[in-house]
Amino acid sequence: MQALLARVIAPILLGAAGTLALAYGAGASPPPAVLTGASFVAFYGLLTLAPWLTLRLGVRWWILSFVGSVAGFFLGLLAATVVDRFLACLRPECAPPVPPPFVVLFGVNMAFMGLAQALALNGATARFVWIFGTLLAGAALGLGIQLSTGQFGLSPLNLYYGPAMVGGVGWGIVTAVTLLVLMRTRATGATPRET
């Protein structure tokens, strides 16, 4: 029971901590460039560590996570920019700016990271579950940020600590559920082989 509880709590806590680090580096008043870079490393590192604590897949997991996070970062920015430009074309010139499409940004970002991480898993079912779960987790992260920013009455153009934490908890909950599903499908080889 304690192991199950740890598997559920760890992604939630690490997701919240990772997004708080991201908010520190990408917030309304960003720190120097070195600390901004460190906050991105902390964000991706903590979001990679959370599932690794349950799956324990070795060095390959970390390498694939790095590759997926870099590719996902740029593809997420590209997708969010395209959606933002499309939305800009739909509104009149004097309309206030539309909030950045955080759902698209983090959904694409986390999906590509999950796609790379899935290569460390064994079995098609486990890979599919993980890719789908990371897509949903990324969308939950972005949706949590977007909705809570509006609820707190904050500027939609910046990332603040409160909305970041809400998004991180949403990511953690979806990731915990995905990990529980993976652990239930042991026959697919989602967990490392026993030695």
187 — pLDDT class (breaks 50, 70, 90): very low
Residue 169 near residue 144, CB atoms below 8 Å: yes
Neighbours of 5 (CB within 10 A): 9
Note the pLDDT tens digit of each residue in 53-65.
888 888 999 999 9
Note the pLDDT tens digit of each residue in 136-148.
999 999 999 989 9
Full-model pTM: 0.85
29 sits in the region (left: phi over 0; alpha: psi -120 to 50; else beta) called beta
The whole-number pLDDT of residue 190 equals 47
Report phi then psi at 8, rounded to 5. Answer: -85, -40
